[in-house]
Amino acid sequence: MANWFIAFIALVLLFVIFAGMVIAAKYLAPREYDKEKYDLYECGVPMVSEFRYFNIRFYIIAIMFTLFDIEAIFMYPWAVYFEELGILGVIEMGLFIIMVFVGWIYAYKKGALVWE
Amino acid sequence: MIEVIIGIVKLILLVTVLSVYVMYATWYERKVIGHMQQRIGPKRVGPYGLLQPLADTIKSFFKEDVIPARADKPLFWLAPILAPTFPFAAAAAIPFFPPIELSNGTMFYFSVFHSNVDLLYILAMMGLSSFGVMLAGIASGGNKYSYFGAQREIAQVVSYEIILALALLNPILMVQSLNLTDFVTFQQQHLWLIFYQPFAFVAFVIAMVASASRVPFDLPEAENELVAGFNTEFTGLKMAMFFFGQYVTIFVVSALAAIVFLGGWSGPAILPGFVWYWLKVLLFIFMFTWFWGTFPRYRYDQLMDIAWKKLLPLLVLNILWTGFALIVHMPII
């Protein structure tokens, strides 16, 4: 249990350390206001339009990721204990993978993996 | 309680050591890439430019911190803080030296955090590290390059996260543990795992370059398409924080590859264990620079095809074959 407490403390401490660094830089650096400087910088050319949209393709990738990451997570405990389960465990894992890959084939056929 | 205090001391040491490592990794990379392109690289500040990283660090603290008027202020502050936090948290589980046995029989581990699920913890933290980049894209207030860069980075990291997890499954099937120390013990008794699982090793190397988003897979910050990608709007130390995170990610995946596939601190007894370990880690870190000097950049659709259409089905088949061969006691290759 102490292990995971250390992991939590480490995460919080790291956040505090890096926040401290960024805040320290704020007070060390000079500051001078200029309207042009505080506008968005895009390669030096004045900006024409704002852009705030995620392409729908990336949502599909995110959904596929959920599917396959869960698959991978299910396979981890099996990989650690698969020798006790024997040949039956391997066959069952094969069936599970086939079920997941039906989804992959569907996505493939629908063109979710095609980029133009 | 004493464990927690030891953990905090180790953490502070880790941050110090890795900060110096990141500084000198930039120097080393500029020097090596310079010689690969028949230039000299940094040489003005200090002998052989050795004080250059120090000068760069001090400079980045004193650079003006410009926050664009249209940016989302809280997220703009949060993104550069989160970017190095998660890679460092992953590095907390990486051992720096082989564990030693104390006089009272317990093992002393040279990593901040040690558990029996090291690998899962590291993978989880590396998956979270794309949050910093995503927030950077959203916070930049409608800058299209930041947005494109952030989208690409997330899709890439997320796709290769799966490849990383599946490529690690093959060694796990052989070792049947998620504990990094067990991996080295296994490889001390048998051959290194790269000889049993060459395909998984190749897949892991591809995935580790992609998840650190380095050349040839550095599409999130492709300078000639996207100016600088997600960190276009960041200045001074805020920008340096993203590189901080990236270099620590490189260290984490290099150390992981060295332990899981190349046997960690096992090796011929000519040299002590930790020298072997560090040689292997430095080999992988050099490999990243070497790739930078050698390969052109991939196209985005090619990058996604490698992950989803080629590596994913092949790795799953490899896992099933490894499981089957181990159960019926057949040779794996």
- Reported in sequence order, the residue ranges of chain B that DSSP labels E, i.e. its strands, are 100-101, 107-108
Q: What pLDDT, on the 0 to 100 scale, is given for residue B149? A: 81
Closest partner residue to A115 (CB to CB) among B68, B89, B304 is: B304
Chain B closest-CA separation from residue A3 CA (Å): 6
Residue A90 has pLDDT above 70, yes or no: yes
Q: Work out whether the CA dihedral B310, B314, B315, B316 comes out positive or negative.
A: positive
Which residues between 54 and 113 in chain B have a beta carbon less than 8 angstroms from any beta carbon of chain A? 60-71, 77, 80-82, 84-85, 88-89, 92, 112-113
Residue A41 has pLDDT above 70, yes or no: no
Question: Are the beta carbons of B158 and A94 separated by less than 8 Å?
Answer: no
What is the pTM for the complete model shown? 0.89
Domain ranges of chain A: 2-109
Look at residue B63 and give its three-state secondary structure.
coil
Chain B closest-CA separation from residue A95 CA (Å): 11
Residue A116 confidence class, pLDDT cut points 50, 70, 90: low
A2-109 classified as CATH 1.20.58: yes
Residue A45 confidence class, pLDDT cut points 50, 70, 90: low
ipTM: 0.84
Chain A closest-CA separation from residue B31 CA (Å): 27
Query: In Å, what is the CA distance from B98 to each residue of B109, B266, B274?
Result: 7, 10, 6
Across the A:B interface, residue pairs with CB atoms under 8 Å apart total 204
Query: In Å, what is the CA distance from B228 to each residue of B71, B208, B220, B242, B297?
Result: 17, 21, 8, 12, 15
Which burial class, exposed, middle or buried, applies to B75 when counting CB atoms under 10 A from its CB (0-12, 13-18, 19+)? middle
Residue A1 has pLDDT above 70, yes or no: no
Chain A closest-CA separation from residue B61 CA (Å): 5
Give pLDDT tens digits for B154-206. Answer: 888 888 888 988 898 888 888 888 888 888 888 888 888 888 888 889 999 99
Q: What pLDDT, on the 0 to 100 scale, is given for residue A44? A: 63
Interface mutation vs chain A, best among B6, B8, B11, most A CBs within 10 Å:
B11
Task: Using a CB–CB cutoff of 8 Å, tell me whether B158 touches chain A.
Answer: yes
Question: Are the beta carbons of A28 and B112 separated by less than 8 Å?
Answer: no
* Helices of type H across chain A: 2-28, 56-110
Give pLDDT tens digits for B194-251. Answer: 888 888 899 999 998 888 888 788 777 766 667 677 777 787 788 888 888 889 999 9
